[in-house]
Structure 1
Amino acid sequence: MKQPAIYILSNKSNSVLYIGVTSNLVQRVFEHKNKMLEGFTKKYNATKLVYFEQYEDMYDAILREKRLKQWKRAWKENLINESNPNWIDLYDDIT
């Protein structure tokens, strides 16, 4: 299902955070989980979906992604903790 979304991935120990934007959240997270994409998430094993927001418009999703990337880590952690305090993998919730 195509719908603009921003997402945050982490690794098993929650020591890294990756913020991305996509038009197909299920497909993109699948690609990260299966290490099909070169880059940060593959290098640091960031395969756990800990947060996401869906949007009607890709422009709004991109703006949100850019803003989140400027946030301090503590702010990002607080955002995740509000909806996912145990930092569980939300992938099964979206498939």
Structure 2
Amino acid sequence: MSTMSLPIVSTCSVAGCSYNHDHDCHAAAITITGTTSSCGTYVEEAAKAGVDATAQVGACHRAECVHNTSLECGAESVEIGPGADVADCLTYSAG
């Protein structure tokens, strides 16, 4: 999988994240971590951060997700929002 084919973060409803600008994630890439599919890139808003592009999923540590192959996300896109944590991958689905 090349970086050109990484899934995008289609929407982010975590209003308190530094990378979230109008429900669009502007981190270069995010990492999904933990036992609750949390967005490991979440940073509580201190100042606006990020790049002038839509974020992609760089890595996913949730090997049991149906979209995960070799710790890479194969979903077309993902949604990030409040779940068990402040910022979770809402596209996560246990396989």
TM-score of the alignment, normalized to the shorter chain, above 0.5: no
TM-score, normalization: structure 2? Answer: 0.29
More helix by share: 1
More strand by share: 2
